[in-house]
Structure 1
Amino acid sequence: MDEYIRLMNKSEDYIESHLSEKISLDDLANNVNISKYHFHRIFSKCNDEMVKQFITRIKVERSGVFLAVRDDLSITDIALQYGYNDASTFNKAFKKYMGMSPLEYRKARNDKK
């Protein structure tokens, strides 16, 4: 089990360092030198969410920090910075995980300042 935890930590590090890119199951499996099928089984055993959901959630959470502190960046700029092709796709993912649009989130965070 310690080996699985090490592989998951290495995978999370990979995700964190490649947030601006599209990250695939193949990328993660190759990073830890195992098959994508074995990686998927290990990931599912160690986490409560699927790989794609995990990646999306991490991207949305990290982008929320930029929305709150970087008023000089547009929502589209932030979406592109986190590997989304357009603001529409980013808005849908953000709203799914955060319960509000990126603009609503930015306004709510700025009102707290």
Structure 2
Amino acid sequence: MINKTEDYIEQHLSDSIVLSDLAKNVHLSEFHFHRIFKEYSSETIKEFVTRVKLERAAIFLCVTSSLSLTEIAFNYGYNDGSSFSRSFKKHFGSSPSIYRKQQEMARVINNNMK
């Protein structure tokens, strides 16, 4: 059940993921699904989905500079860049633009040390 849910979330990162869709996907009531998921993962569905989206966006920020922050926000289901930036800063402690610059600097330093 958990693996099937994680797969569903990974396939729908750019969508609005709601509890009812996840529960239907594993043939459980919303109540039972939420209770089992929280017991397994120690996170609510919303917390889990938000964390996964932000972690994938952070990886994307590190590997490409060709897309704007707003485009990345849209790719991960955020309606605008400002809500993405607020969530990102809350989770990682820095804004997406600063995070991207820090990762670029770290990459340059690592390349120069080789």
Using the size of structure 2 for normalisation, the TM-score is 0.92
**In 1, Cα distance between the equivalents of 2:86 and 2:42?**
21
Counterparts in 2 of 1:15-26, with a 5 A limit?
15-26=9-20
Using the size of structure 1 for normalisation, the TM-score is 0.92
Say whether residues 1:9 and 2:12 are aligned partners.
no
**In 2, Cα distance between the equivalents of 1:67 and 1:109?**
8
Runs of at least 5 residues in structure 1 that lack an aligned partner in the other structure: 1-6
Residue 42 of structure 1: which of 36, 45, 55 is its match?
36
Residue 45 of structure 2: which of 28, 51, 57 is its match?
51
The structure with the largest alpha-carbon Rg is: 2
Aligned CA RMSD, in angstroms, stands at: 0.6
**In 2, Cα distance between the equivalents of 1:41 and 1:50?**
9
2:105 corresponding residue in structure 1: 111
Runs of 4+ in 1 over 6 A off after TM superposition: none
1:57 alignment partner, SS class: helix
Runs of at least 5 residues in structure 2 that lack an aligned partner in the other structure: 108-114
Structure 2 counterpart of 1:58, which letter?
A: V
**In 1, Cα distance between the equivalents of 2:24 and 2:62?**
34
1:20 alignment partner, SS class: coil
**In 2, Cα distance between the equivalents of 1:17 and 1:10?**
11
**In 2, Cα distance between the equivalents of 1:94 and 1:76?**
12
Fraction of identical pairs, as percent: 52
